[in-house]
Structure 1
Amino acid sequence: MPQHFLLSAEARNLSPIAIARMSEYEAVMTMKKLRWGEGKDVICPRCGKKHEAYYIKSRKQWQCKECNYRFSVTAGTLFAHHKLPLRDILFACSLYVNAAKGISALQIARDLNVQYKTAFVLLHKIKEALKVHKQRETMQLSGVVHMDATYVHSSQKPKNKKSERVDRRLKQHENPLKRAILVIRDSFAKQDDEQNTKQIGARNTIAFIAKSENSKVVNQLANKHITKGSTIHTDESPAYDNLIYFHDLKRVNHQKEYRSDAGVTNNLAESYFSRFKRMYYGQVHKMNNTYLYEYANEIAYREDTRRLSNGVIFNDVVSKCLTSLPSDDWRGYWQGNKKRVETLAA
């Protein structure tokens, strides 16, 4: 039996210990490389000129030769106006990457010896960068596509006395915070001759948040993100009935089987839900609906990068943070400037 990729040496080319031992200058140069690439050229965030600017080593800043603007490696990014040393930020990013099923702000606070508030905002800035870059993509899934949904926050704590309890199966007694996480995943072809790959399983993952799993939401997402004529695998929920008009719809009845005799299954979606719920119950324990999409998108990113080494994922995550603009949602969060509207698909 071949060795799993995550057990191989190729999967481990990033060491948080090495990052923790970096000097602040080495941390600056690491971020500079991930933001502006190799060489001495940098890009002024004010005038946009790419050139070899003056580097002021005592301040760890550059001065533009065109407009004389002084800027740091985090200027104009999600990490702008940071108070933590850059080495600590990189160390937190390495811990974030190595946590296959997510990591809690409390654990980051302990590992960095900072306040919980600091760790919470830092982690959500990373999630924000992943969300921004995901929303920039215009991804169309094709081939064999698995589609399914799961519910979170579906039940409320029952009353102590049995006589005071209500039937939570009835719609009028549903938790108003109940949300559906819908996921769409396409799979690798059995053999891709052009790229000479033999990868199997899910290739691309897109997650969404909705108030319920219904045909209106499903049709809207399928029309936008799935190429017409694709083969879609779903369960027997009536929310997917209308997909048959534009796609090759195949279904599996989970009351009888997990995989039909014809090979129909939506296990790619189920594997996503498995990792998400391990993060929910084993790491975070509580998610506000306002940021539920960010958590769902984080697991989609982790699923799509599961076959990459931790060093590659680290470089990608940090570069995404350094190419994302400052977010108003995370300026003065603990002073009351909080995001008010949740991100819903429909």
Structure 2
Amino acid sequence: MSGGIPLPPERFAPSIANEMVHCSSGAIAGREQKEYKGRRHSKRRTAAMQHFLLSSAAVSLSIDDVASMSDAAVRRLVRQMRWPDTNGKPICPRCDHDRIYEMASGRLKCAACRRLFSETSGTILHNRKLPLRTILMAIFLWTNGAKGVAALHMRRDLSISYKSAFVLLHKLREAIGDARDDLKVGGVVEIDAAYVGGHIRPPNIGREGRRPAVRSRKQCVLTMVERGGSTINLIVDGETTEAVMAAVGRHVQPGSTIVADEHAAYNALHARYTVHRINHRWEYARGDVNTNAAESTHSRLRRSENGIHHRICGPYLGNYAHEMAYRGDRRRCPNGDVFRELGEMALMHPVSRVWTGRWQARPDGKQGDRKVDIRPLIWTPLEPFEPWRWAA
């Protein structure tokens, strides 16, 4: 490796990085005297401010650092992510014994229970088929995506199947959602809701018979953002009083100040919290009373849907919502810290019960009655392309 992979300042903690950093060059303020063509000119240099994402501090890890790692370095890094409390010393996942032997094949064996296991045994990557290096590169590609990464994009970058990329990305999203399931926000909390997902075809205006109104397939995403802290995205049945009170009671600390719009669903919050309201019909902000942070989270989720994934299926919307909340909280952190933290979350998560085995089966355990012939087409440039000709 050309450089070390830094540890995050606090595991699974909200982002505390500053949005603006001082530029190292040209930061000397004062008056300088300069000779130029026989004339003296005075020039004042002011301290230049640079956006964090444009500074060198935002990039602490590159794809070359991961791709050029040796096999021993890859295993050592994965073990540090799996067992961070012991600095990578393996612990048996069955009996918690620390006397572990490493076999010639690379697998680990417990001296107490004699069980064989690996670095990913008992984690969300249990029964993996991909090499550890490929998984680390997938995590890095996910980290560097500004608004997400598509499974097709990752398939082309890593030369893996679409299903492998799709399942791996959803396993990472599941690990993020479960790690932030009990997250609480406090202080000044902005709350707002948006309807995301689905597609409504525009009405057929101009013809004699107009299409009937299509029922919306969008789902309600309730967002709670602590100013200077964490973001929580939840999928609720709708922007109703019951859904708002249940979400706020679980995730907002008592004594917090809530900022919301004039929707009637937030009226009941006045009985338990200090609530400030903003009427978006007349204004978007009144001093510090605004919901701009929550609306920015909604915009980030919509940009991810429209520009990266294009369509988000309803059952998976919660995973994408958790992902964008996490990305919003880590947008001012170095990519090496996010890479290390995401790897720890994946390797400390138990075996997934959703993305394991027949994960696309019906609830009754059957694969369905529809049979699809997925045999490849036989076609060479020397003969005409005939779609009805299948492999024998």
Shift of 1:333: 4.3
The verdict on how the C-alpha distance between 1:54 and 1:132 changes in structure 2, with shifts beyond 3 A counting, is same
Match of 2:69 among 14, 22, 40: 22
CA distance in 1, matches of 2:63, 2:266: 45
Pairs within 5 Å for 1:6-17 = 6-17=53-64
Residue 133 of structure 1 aligns with an amino acid whose one-letter code is A
1:286 equivalent in alignment to 2:311? yes
CA distance in 1, matches of 2:226, 2:110: 46
2:340 corresponds, among 297, 315, 319, to 315
1:245 to 251, 255, 271: 271
CA distance in 2, matches of 1:33, 1:80: 17
Contact map agreement 1:210 1:217 (CA 8 A) in 2:
yes
Name the residue aligned to 2:149.
Answer: 103
Q: 1:75 aligns with which of 106, 109, 121?
A: 121
Measured after TM superposition, the shift of residue 50 of structure 1 is 2.0
The code of the aligned residue for 1:330 comes to W
Letter in 1 for 2:194: T
Q: Which TM-score applies when normalising by structure 1?
A: 0.85
* Residue identity in the other structure for 1:150: A
* TM-aligned CA deviation for residue 209 of structure 1: 0.5
Q: Whose radius of gyration is greater, 1 or 2?
A: 2
Q: Report the equivalent of 2:250.
A: 224
**Residue in 1 aligned with 2:135?**
89
SS at match of 2:350: coil
| Matched residue, 1:165 | 210
1: CA distance, partners of 2:362 / 2:130: 20
Aligned 1:46-85 pairs, distance under 5 A? 46-51=94-99, 53-56=100-103, 58-85=104-131
Q: Establish whether residue 36 from structure 1 lines up as the match of residue 76 from structure 2.
A: no
Number of residue-to-residue matches in the alignment: 316
Kept in 2: contact 1:24–1:85 (CA 8 A): no
d(CA) in 1 for partners of 2:289, 2:316: 33
CA deviations 1:267-294 (Å, max 9, x no partner) are 1101111211111111011111111111
The 3-state SS of whatever aligns with 1:328 is coil
Gaps of 5+ in 1: 189-202, 341-346
Instruction: Give the % identical residues.
Output: 37
Measure the CA separation in 2 of the matches of 1:132 and 1:39.
24
- Return the alpha-carbon distance in structure 1 between the equivalents of residues 290 and 332 of structure 2: 22
Contact kept, 8 Å, 2:101 with 2:110, in 1: the verdict is yes
Runs of at least 5 residues in structure 2 that lack an aligned partner in the other structure: 1-47, 366-392
Please, which of 215, 220, 224 is the counterpart of residue 174 of structure 1? Answer: 215
Distance 1:178 1:40 in 2: 44
Report the TM-score, using the length of structure 2 for normalisation.
Answer: 0.76
- The structure in which a higher percent of residues are helix is 1
Q: Deviations over 1:93-150 (max 9, x none)?
A: 0000011211110100010011111100010111111112112x3x332211100011
Work out the CA distance in 1 between the residues paired with 2:79 and 2:364.
Answer: 30
Aligned to 1:344: none
Conservation of the 8 A alpha-carbon contact between 2:231 and 2:329: yes
1:67–1:186 Cα change, 3 Å: same
Of 165, 182, 185, the match for 2:225: 185
Q: Indicate the residue corresponding to 1:343 in structure 2.
A: none
Question: How does 1:122-141 map onto structure 2 within 5 Å?
Answer: 122-135=168-181, 137=182, 139-141=183-185
Give distance in 2, aligned partners of 1:309 and 1:167.
50
Q: Equivalents in 2 of 1:120, 1:33: separation in Å?
A: 26
Q: Is the 8 A contact 1:330 1:338 kept in 2?
A: no
Classify 1:163/1:244 alpha carbon distance in 2 versus 1 (closer, same or farther; 3 Å): farther
Partner deviation per Cα, 1:279-334 (whole Å, 9 max, x = no partner): 11110111111111110011111111122111111011011110111112111346
Name the CA shift for 1:333/1:20 in 2 (closer, same or farther; >3 Å): farther
Q: The residue matched to 1:81 in structure 2 has which SS?
A: coil
Output the CA distance in 2 between the equivalents of 1:45 and 1:254. Answer: 53
